[in-house]
Amino acid sequence: MHIIITRPIEDCLDIISKFKILGHKITHLPLLYIKKVEHQKINFDNYKSVIFTSTNSIKFLDAKNIPKNLLCFCVGEATEKKARSIGLLNVISASGNVEALHELILRTFEKKDGKLIYFSSEFITKDLDKILISNGYLVDRIINYTANPIEKIDKNILEQIKSIPMDMLFVYSEKSAINLKNLIKNYSLVDNLINCNLMCISEKTARVLNGLKWKKIFIFNPGEEEFLLYKI
């Protein structure tokens, strides 16, 4: 199959590798570029745990200031690997989605244990900090990166999209979906979608794109990409 992956490259190396090993043709069409956001200096002595829902939040972390034994909650395997790569030792990982991470924190971290700090993008699919606060936890959210739209498609990537029929296209955020919709219109790609299955991270993301001519639209959780190969 010809599969289009739209995440920034550092977030999708593992899944691209898995798909290639399985014999699929992969086109990487990044929709967003990641940029650091400056924030106030953090006193980690005020926190008993740190939360990461993206490798990018770790990439832009001032790693030398974070205690290596601080309890660290990660959304999935890739984020856990990134956290360990900067020397964090006490790392617990969920199964790849925010709901699972929320349940993991509820099971393993007592409210009375202290305050958590959550590093994230400016734009997030689910407000994990607000959900935890509603459960009685003390959480500070720090925005340390943002994602901006990539407004042009590389000439070689465009040629692959136009010349090789697409079977699956993965979209990982509402912001990505908005930019994809603009690119499809700007590059006259609507007719190339007819036999392509759209894989969206959420209903909200799918709603942005459901007016276009997709074969089918599926909703998935991070980590389920390989499983979806067998659903179409």
Last residue of a domain, one of 104, 129, 147: 147
Last residue of a domain, one of 147, 181, 214: 147
- In this structure, are 81 and 129 located in the same domain? yes
Range of the domain at 18: 2-31+151-228
* pLDDT score at 101: 95
- In this structure, are 13 and 58 located in the same domain? no
Considering only CA atoms, which of 35, 34, 33, 31 is closest in space to residue 179? 31
How many helices (H) and strands (E) in the chain?
Answer: 9, 11
Residue bearing tokens 């709901």: 99
CA–CA separation, 49 vs 129, rounded Å? 13
- In this structure, are 21 and 77 located in the same domain? no
At 27, which CATH number? 3.40.50.10090
DSSP assignment of 105-143 equals HHHH--GGG--EEEEEESS-SS-HHHHHHHTT--EEEEE
Return per-residue pLDDT of the chain as tens, 232 residues: 999 999 988 788 888 999 999 999 999 999 999 999 999 899 999 999 999 998 899 999 988 889 999 999 999 888 899 999 999 999 999 987 888 999 999 999 999 999 999 999 987 878 899 999 999 999 999 999 999 999 999 999 999 999 999 999 999 989 999 999 999 999 999 999 999 999 998 899 999 999 999 999 999 887 788 888 887 7
Extract long-range pairs of 127-131: CB within 8 Å, 24+ residues apart: 128/51, 128/53, 128/98, 128/101, 128/102, 131/102
- In this structure, are 66 and 131 located in the same domain? yes
